[in-house]
Amino acid sequence: MRPEDVLFWLQAQPFQPFRVTLNSGRSFEVRHPELVRLMRTSLLHFTPSNQEGVFDRAETIGLVLVECIEPLDAATRSSHEHH
């Protein structure tokens, strides 16, 4: 995935929470733009802790591993439509 593709989601006004799915099948939700930092070839995903402004951990994910990005509400709707 290109950095511009991720920026599209991070800079959306208003921000819309989204799910990032990796080509391994693993996925994670981004509910706030502060939880992700974009670099040229990767992104940093932060996991918040119970303490405001403090994170439990950060993970670097190569953009080449990103399969797709989709809005959380669309992902929820599509899973409900199949049941």
4-32 burial string, b = 16+ CB within 10 Å, else e?
Answer: eebeebbeeeeeeebbbbeeeeeeeebee
What is the domain count for the chain? Answer: 1
Say which amino acid occupies 32.
Answer: H
Report whether pLDDT(80) > 80: no
Domain that residue 37 falls in? 3-81
pLDDT digits (tens, 9 = 90+) for 15-73: 999 999 999 999 999 999 999 999 999 999 999 899 988 999 999 999 999 999 999 98
- Kindly report the CATH number assigned to the domain that includes residue 73: 2.30.30.100
Q: What is the pTM of this model?
A: 0.81
CA–CA distance from 10 to each of 47, 79, 80 (Å)? 16, 24, 26
